[in-house]
């Protein structure tokens, strides 16, 4: 079994290459090649633009009787992408480029045409100067005059621009300062506005917190008032609160705590609350000690006034008993007995 990839062929010992017949092919035969358009062109038939780099399946042939320094020149045949018209171009080894031949016109060739024209003029001038020394002198004087004119025109243009262009440096600096000042003012206003917004937000937050606190206090007060059962602030004066007993009596009965203002004035709800403020004349029967007849029969004004003052003093001073109760209750009891 032979190898799969064989590069060398077997030649028998009696092989004669001269006996192999040679193919007689024409020299202008054509080959099908794949190429890209070497430049931008426009079809003459339909006006379709064919851009550089577009790919074609072209036919290639060798141009007969045309050589450049022994190098052959090749011609290519392509078809328009729109109307299928035939377009031909060939190689140009002299300029290392391609030359348009038939069926289309080359675009963007103005620069190349100008360069070619300049080359032709330069070549003609060199040919004239080659055999005519006077022509060389004339061309040099002509070039020097043209150079002087160009320099003069350039200087005039510079002077004209300097006269017309009057730059006001002070105005430029003032405008820059004004612009910078406005920018600073704008930044300052923005900072103030932001600060004001922040303060407003903090104030609103504090107001909300204070409102919530006041609502909580009102709720607590309302709950306390409901627990106490008082509808008005002054009801506390007319109600007796259960307080801790200051002491117990001999019988074990607890007494309510008496406030300092009740000791001097008394409660508003009792009948004898204002008894200490009213001075009443005591009858003779209520006095334990015997009173002389003369004093009882004809009391003088001086003795009456003394009696009233002593009674008022005794009434104003609270007298505490053994069980811790005040004398106000006793005064109230006296006043009740007197009224009966």
**Residue 75: which of 51, 58, 95 has the closest Cα?**
58
**Sheet with 55-68, side-by-side order of all strands:** 31-36, 55-68, 71-79, 86-92, 97-102
Packing angle, helices 133-164 and 110-131, rounded to 10: 130
Is residue 221 a known part of a binding site? no
Is residue 46 a known part of a binding site? yes
Q: 3-class secondary structure for the chain? A: CCCCCCCCCCCCCCCCHHHCCCCCCCCCCCEEEEEECCCCEEECCCCCEECCCCEEEEEEEEEEEEEECCEEEEEEEEECCCCCCEEEEEEECCCCEEEEEECEEECCCHHHHHHHHHHHHHHHHHHHHHHCHHHHHHHHHHHHHHHHHHHHHHHHHHHHHHHHCCCCHHHHHHHHHHHHHHHHHHHHHHHHHHHHHHHHHHHHHHHHHHHHHHHHHHHHHHHHHHHHCCCCCCHHHHCCCCCCCCCECCCCCECCCCCHHHHHCCCCCCCCCCHHHCCCCCCHHHCCCCCCHHHHHCCCHHHHHHHHHHHHHHHHCCCCCCCCCCCHHHHHHHHHHHHC
Give the span between the Cα atoms of 279 and 331, in whole angstroms: 11
Binding-site sequence positions: 43, 46, 80, 83
- Detail the residues annotated as belonging to a binding site for Zn(2+): 43, 46, 80, 83
């Amino acid at each position: 079994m032979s190898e799969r990839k064989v590069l060398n062929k077997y030649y028998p010992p009696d092989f004669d290459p001269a006996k192999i017949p040679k193919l007689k092919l024409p020299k202008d035969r054509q080959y099908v090649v794949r190429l890209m358009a070497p430049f931008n062109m426009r079809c003459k038939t339909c006006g379709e633009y064919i851009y550089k780099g577009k790919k074609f399946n072209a036919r290639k042939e060798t141009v007969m009787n045309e050589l450049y320094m022994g190098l052959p020149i090749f011609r290519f045949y392509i078809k328009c992408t729109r109307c299928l018209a035939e377009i031909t171009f060939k190689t140009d080894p002299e300029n290392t480029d391609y030359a348009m031949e038939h069926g289309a016109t080359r675009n963007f060739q103005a620069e190349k045409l100008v360069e070619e024209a300049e080359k032709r003029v330069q070549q003609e001038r060199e040919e004239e100067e080659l055999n005519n020394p006077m022509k060389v002198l004339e061309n040099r004087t002509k070039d020097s005059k043209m150079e002087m004119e160009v320099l003069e025109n350039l200087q005039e243009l510079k002077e004209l621009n300097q006269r017309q262009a009057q730059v006001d440096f002070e105005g430029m600096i003032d405008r820059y300062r004004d612009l910078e000042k406005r920018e600073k003012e704008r930044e300052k206003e923005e900072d103030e506005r932001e600060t004001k917004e922040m303060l407003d937000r903090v104030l609103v937050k504090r107001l909300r917190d204070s409102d919530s606190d006041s609502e909580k206090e009102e709720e607590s007060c309302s709950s306390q008032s409901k627990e106490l059962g008082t509808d008005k602030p002054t009801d506390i004066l007319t109600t007796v609160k259960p307080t801790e007993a200051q002491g117990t009596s001999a019988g074990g009965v607890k007494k309510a705590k008496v406030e300092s203002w009740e000791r001097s004035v008394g409660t508003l709800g009792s009948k004898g609350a204002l008894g200490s403020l009213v001075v009443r004349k005591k009858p003779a029967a209520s006095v334990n000690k015997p009173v002389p007849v003369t004093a009882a029969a004809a009391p003088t004004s001086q003795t009456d006034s003394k009696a009233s003052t002593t009674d008022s003093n005794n009434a104003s001073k609270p007298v505490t008993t053994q069980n811790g109760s005040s004398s106000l209750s006793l005064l109230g009891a006296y006043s009740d007995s007197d009224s009966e």
